[in-house]
Amino acid sequence: MADRREDLRAADVDRQFVAERLKAALDEGRLSLGEYDDRLKETYAARTYGDLDGILKDLPGFHPMGGSQLEPSEPVADEPDERPRRSGDGNPKWLIGIWSAWLVAVSVNVVIWALVSLSAGEPVYFWPMWVAGPWGAVLLASTFSVKALGQNPESNQRRYRDS
């Protein structure tokens, strides 16, 4: 058994987390496209946490956890908390995202309906309800399960933590 964290085998979820961090660094302009591509290849070829740590070591906000195999109980100062938010801490990002997508889709459909009604000279059958209603019901159930029952799918995901 490996004694040090650097020697422990990394999982696919760990490689995916590093790939997401690299994408963020590319979007921020910290990496060129060629460097991003090289590091991404290294990420998916990495076998251990030490390999993954080396890929991120020169990027801001990266602090290897040293010998610990446990996540810190509190976020490191001056860094955002990457843990999923619970129901009392506001809305999780994914919940805001799915409601935003619903709002955009329903808005587009209502605008199309309004334009068709204007061109017809009278209100036509309000068909956008078949887009808004079922999808909205599913979103309400999801929101209820997160808020009232405390069931958050993000809390079940293991992530490679670098802080």
pLDDT tens for 47-57 read 998 998 899 88
Q: Please tell me the predicted confidence (pLDDT) of residue 95.
A: 80
Q: Please tell me the predicted confidence (pLDDT) of residue 65.
A: 52
Q: Please tell me the predicted confidence (pLDDT) of residue 117.
A: 95
Indicate the domain borders of the chain.
Answer: 1-75, 87-155
pTM: 0.41
Count of other CB atoms within 10 angstroms of residue 55: 20
Kindly tell me the burial class for residue 21, based on how many C-beta atoms sit within 10 Å of its own C-beta (0-12, 13-18, 19 or more): buried
Which positions ≥6 away from 24 have C-beta within 8 Å? Answer: none
Q: Please tell me the predicted confidence (pLDDT) of residue 163.
A: 44
Q: Please tell me the predicted confidence (pLDDT) of residue 128.
A: 93
Which stretches of the chain score pLDDT less than 70? 1-3, 62-90, 150-163
